[in-house]
Chain A
Amino acid sequence: DQQVKQNSPSLSVQEGRISILNCDYTNSMFDYFLWYKKYPAEGPTFLISISSIKDKNEDGRFTVFLNKSAKHLSLHIVPSQPGDSAVYFCAATGENFNKFYFGSGTKLNVKP
């Protein structure tokens, strides 16, 4: 059951511009949404999260937007840097944090 989906397998952006990564989910009971970044040969690294009671959370260059009515979230990276090139996963979980559902990832390439 693919409850979290990332429909864009890859994204290429010029350095300094905005990167927008998208994620859709189907389960309206999810309470928290998260973004992870993954470099090759490493485990995913937590980036930013948002509670379902909020519609925006910002941390430096990273902002996550949540649209509950559309069951959609997005990660904005501004300005994009070459070091941001990685695979980005969105994930979701319920109030008990017993189980996390991950999307299939979007590979971001930031060109110098």
Chain B
Amino acid sequence: DTGVSQDPRHKITKRGQNVTFRCDPISEHNRLYWYRQTLGQGPEFLTYFQNEAQLEKSRLLSDRFSAERPKGSFSTLEIQRTEQGDSAMYLCASSWGLAEETQYFGPGTRLLVL
């Protein structure tokens, strides 16, 4: 297993456009998390899935943000009508039942909104 993967690694878009990011967790991991990280800050929690159920969602996640994990495997994070303030690194992490506190992070998707 090669770990958590994210696609794309970089995305440049114009303000107002929609973007979608994909995360493929480690195959047996049932927990999946999305974070946003801006320069000089730590990862900021966005949302959490256990299998296909979205169990936790941050107030930071405005109605322009949506996430899915349709079959409990990969997940997508969509941002509609992007704003310049959405420019950040978007990180995905996964973990599993016997080591729930140990999250494995992907390399992230860096978004730049022009």
Determine if A43 and B105 form an interchain contact, defined as CB atoms under 8 angstroms apart: yes
**Residue count of chain B within 8 Å CB distance of chain A:** 26
Instruction: State A103–B108 Cα separation when bound (angstroms).
Output: 18
Residues of A contacting B8 in the complex (Cβ-Cβ under 8 angstroms) = none
**Residue count of chain A within 8 Å CB distance of chain B:** 25
Task: Count contacts between A and B, CB distance < 8 Å.
Answer: 59
Determine if A101 and B45 form an interchain contact, defined as CB atoms under 8 angstroms apart: yes
A73 within 8 A of B: no
Interface string of B98-114 (1 = CB under 8 A from A): 00111111111000000
B85 within 8 A of A: no
| Contact residue among B33, B40, B108 (Cβ-Cβ distance under 8 Å from A100) | B33
Known A89-B42, A89-B43: A100·B56 in contact at CB below 8 Å: no
A98 within 8 A of B: yes
| Contact residue among A41, A49, A89 (Cβ-Cβ distance under 8 Å from B107) | A41
B22 within 8 A of A: no
CB distance from B18 to the nearest CB of A (A): 24
The list of the 5 closest CB pairs from A to B, nearest first, reads A43-B105, A102-B42, A97-B100, A98-B56, A32-B101
